């Protein structure tokens, strides 16, 4: 990711799925490609979370 040059994203990055001009979903570009069924893999995917590409949810307490 451009704003996180210190983090290797391995191709895991958010990709907008636009249908008829409307944003339908945000999926992981890497995981969708790897899925033979081309199922939507919602962003952030598990790999992105593990790699630290997205902020982890902070404990509420």
Interface contacts to Zn ion, rule CB under 5 A:
12, 28, 30-31, 45, 47
To Zn ion, the closest distance from the beta carbon of 59 in angstroms equals 24
Q: Considering the complex, state which of residue 25 and residue 47 has its C-beta at the smaller distance from Zn ion.
A: 47
To Zn ion, the closest distance from the beta carbon of 40 in angstroms equals 12
How many angstroms separate the CA atoms of 43 and 51, rounded?
13
To Zn ion, the closest distance from the beta carbon of 39 in angstroms equals 12
Q: Comparing C-alpha atoms, which of 40, 47, 55, 46 is closest to residue 3?
A: 55
**Alpha-carbon distances of 1 from 5, 11, 51, 60, 61, rounded to whole Å:** 6, 9, 12, 28, 30
Q: Considering the complex, state which of residue 40 and residue 47 has its C-beta at the smaller distance from Zn ion.
A: 47
């Amino acid at each position: 990711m451009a704003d996180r040059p210190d983090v290797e994203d391995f191709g895991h990055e958010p990709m907008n799925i636009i249908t008829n001009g409307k944003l339908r979903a945000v999926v992981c570009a890497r995981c969708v490609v790897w899925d033979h069924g081309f199922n939507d893999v919602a962003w952030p995917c598990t790999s992105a979370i593990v790699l630290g590409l997205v902020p982890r949810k902070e404990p509420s307490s």
